[in-house]
Amino acid sequence: MSLFWLRVAVLLYGIAALAVLPAALYDRPRWRHIAVPATIAAVFFHFVSLAEMLNAAHHRLPVDTHETQSFLGLLLALAFLLVYARYRTVSLGIFLLPICFLLGLVPAFHPGQESTTFPILHAGWIFLHVALLLAAYAALFLSMLASLLYLVQERHLKQKSPTLSWLPPLETTDQIALKALLVGLPCMTAGLLIGSLIAQATVGASYFRDPKILLAFAMWLVYVAMIHIRRISGLRGRRAVYLSSFVFLVILTVWVANQFSAVHRFTAP
Amino acid sequence: MSQSKPTPTQGRLILLGINHNTAPIEVRERLAIPAERLADATRTLLHQPGVREGLILSTCNRVELLTLQDDSEAAQPQAKTDLLRFLHEYFAVPPHDIQPHLYEFREREAVRHLFRVASSLDSMVVGEPQILGQVKEAYTVARDAGAVSTHLEALMQRTFTVAKKIRTETQIGSSSVSIASVAVDLARKIFGSLYGKTVLLVGAGKMSELAARHLIQQGASSILVTNRTQSRAEKIASDFNSLTVHTEAIPFEALYEQADRADIVITSTGAPQKIFGRSHGQHFLHRRRNRPMFFIDIAVPRDVDPRMNEVEGCFVYDIDDLQQVAAANLADRSREAAAAENIVSREVDKYQERLQSRDAVPAIKALQQQAEQLRQAELVRSQSKLADLTAQQRDAVEALTRSLTAKLLHPQLTALRESTRKKDSE
């Protein structure tokens, strides 16, 4: 049943992704009134699907890449709705909603087969660990996207060509970029802490000798450093995009590395 | 122009007027009606022979009389003469001074013209937003004067809907075409909301003050003014005092120390050399911790070194840049106007169809009443023969006669509706 609701959600993401184009590019309120409710409905059904999946899983948690992808899609859709609620702009949806659609597409029609057995006591914590880290990834992705849009808009304003009217103002994209980072930091901190505690309890101290795990902590430090630099120097524009991209690459490397780590295959090293 | 023949009860729509395309300002100003006299003029119009309903739209670019005339009056060219006489008598302008500039639209074309006017397709600056408000004002005055009832009421409500539809479905009014509003648009592209923003005026000039006023209207809360002559700066600052914003005249010598307080700088001095160079931009941005600054340079020769635009976070627009953006926006509006014209055409068709189906209603009702009277008369005539019938049987006879009448009438009613539609579309 969870698969059915996920398919409904994916369909709604698709509708929202199409409707957001005229809504943002040509400022058509009628299309905005389709895109936003469709996304809200998609998020709702995505949640239902997730709840049913977790309910059915008991102590077997589907941790296939497809499922994490789908969850990342849900977080990005939530990010789109939060940005809309706060800044009344749907422009970011042009990029976010098709990504949500694509991230949900494979899990909805070719669900993964892998699942992992946990002691029932840990299942909830594992889910929280994954969810919080994915939220941090989503926040960083949103921040990078906003920074890129800032760059495009800034270039248009500098070149004095008629500005792209569908892009949000510079101040707005800058705020989105910074606030996304600020939301991402506690998510990443809590996600890493929970992960460490679970690993400590199940694998023991050897876990902390895994260089890939150490890299994850380095990622956290880089993230904190980036926020610090942005806040102190008021970094914007090109340099902010370069910094965000660098951190994004580091985080992507950590994520890929962790796919190969012994801990994440849940076998003792 | 449509020359259709509506049913006698319908009346005829006639629109007579002059606008900026047909008449020079010398003629338009002689026919302009001040707001306080509009109600009186509308009442006078209503007393003209054959005028059943009427409305006067008077703006700086047009004077138009929209009237619903009796069919008997309107069928003759007399209607136009009467309206012309009204203009002549009310404004004391000889008819031969008005006639060459006058246009006349009837029925369908009058509806089309009204839709175009309210949607700002007939305006001097296509897409300008004021005209819809002016049409609404004219309607309110006419309604209060008792000059608008069923027909014009329906037409005006449809006009407002069409104008709103065009605003939302096209981008005809979305881009700015004046220098001051382009400057405001650009400021909003940089800062989003202008609430709480500070504007610095360097030098004095009508255009820079106008731009500042536009920025205040959009929420800017603080105006700093500087001038080589301190008293002049104080005078300008005091002019802005009434606008409930914080104003401050700063000495010209303190310009470089104070300029970074401003988010938007408008320069319009007559200085032969540049006042702000690239290094000033870097200095300001450093002090502002990279918060952007927008320089609007209206001066010729320019006050701001264009190379300041290369500094990250500094945006410099001179008068030519602003004019180019305005010209590009105007071209965009023309493209959107084509889409708006299509909407007007579709809406005129829809309106006419609705009107035509309404035209057939009185004839249909009359036919139905006649048939009902005949049915009742026949029932009365046969009363003695039906006396022995039970109540149930009587009901059956009643239902039978009703059904027969309806079936007999059906082809006639369909033909009537069809012929009204055809007659009106001829």
- Asked which of B100-104, B107-111, B114-118, B384-388 is least confident by mean pLDDT, the reply is B384-388
* Same domain membership, residue B220 and residue B129: no
**Cβ–Cβ < 8 Å for A25, A166:** yes
pLDDT beyond 50 at B4? no
Q: Which is the catalytic residue, given B35, B60, B327, B408?
A: B60
**Helical (H) or strand (E) element with B259:** none
What are the tens digits of pLDDT across the range B149-207?
A: 888 999 999 999 999 999 888 888 777 778 888 899 899 999 999 999 999 999 878 88
Nearest CB partner across the interface for B324, out of A153, A160, A235: A160
- Asked which of A32-46, A205-219, B196-210, B260-274 is least confident by mean pLDDT, the reply is A205-219
Q: What is the number of structural domains in chain B?
A: 2
pLDDT beyond 90 at A218? no
Confidence of residue A268 (pLDDT cuts 50, 70, 90): very low
What are the tens digits of pLDDT across the range B229-257?
A: 999 899 888 888 766 789 999 999 999 99
The per-residue pLDDT for A267 is 43
Of B174, B201, B225, which one is at a domain's C-terminal end? B174
Cβ of A162 and B292 within 8 Å? no
* Same domain membership, residue B248 and residue B128: no
Which residue range forms the structural domain that includes residue B191? 179-321
Residue-by-residue DSSP string for B293-356: EEEEE--SS-SB-GGGGGSTTEEEEEHHHHHHHHHHHHHHHHHHHHHHHHHHHHHHHHHHHHHH
Q: Which of B284, B290, B297 to mutate to test the interface with A (most CBs of A within 10 A)?
A: B290
pTM equals 0.71
* Same domain membership, residue B166 and residue B21: yes
Share of chain B above pLDDT 90, in %: 40
Nearest CB partner across the interface for A172, out of B192, B289, B324: B192
**B104 within some domain:** yes
User: Residues of A at the B interface (Cβ-Cβ below 8 Å)?
Assistant: 26-30, 153, 157-158, 160, 162-163, 165, 168-172, 233-239
Report the alpha-carbon distance of residue B283 to residue B263 in Å, rounded: 14
Residue-by-residue DSSP string for B125-182: STT-SHHHHHHHHHHHHHHHTT---HHHHHHHHHHHHHHHHHHHHS-TTTS--SHHHH
* Same domain membership, residue B153 and residue B184: no
* Same domain membership, residue B184 and residue B170: no
Q: Residue B161's CB: how many other CB atoms inside 10 A?
A: 14
Of B124, B151, B174, which one is at a domain's C-terminal end? B174
The per-residue pLDDT for B199 is 95
* Same domain membership, residue B255 and residue B206: yes
What are the tens digits of pLDDT across the range A24-79?
A: 988 888 899 999 999 999 999 999 998 887 777 654 555 566 778 888 999 999 99
pLDDT beyond 70 at B306? yes
What are the tens digits of pLDDT across the range B352-384?
A: 888 877 767 777 788 888 888 888 888 888 888
Our answer to whether residue B60 is catalytic in this structure is yes
Q: What CATH number should be reported for the domain holding residue B109?
A: 3.30.460.30
Of B321, B348, B371, which one is at a domain's C-terminal end? B321
* Same domain membership, residue B235 and residue B86: no
Ordered by start, the domain boundaries in chain A are 1-114, 118-269
The per-residue pLDDT for A8 is 94
* Same domain membership, residue B312 and residue B200: yes
pLDDT beyond 70 at B36? yes
Closest CA of chain A from B71, distance in Å: 42
Tokens of B91: 């404004």
The per-residue pLDDT for A97 is 96
**B399 within some domain:** no
**B293 within some domain:** yes
Q: At what angle do helices A65-87 and A170-202 cross, to 10 degrees?
A: 140
The per-residue pLDDT for A98 is 96
The per-residue pLDDT for B385 is 81
In whole numbers, what is the pLDDT of chain B averaged over residues? 86
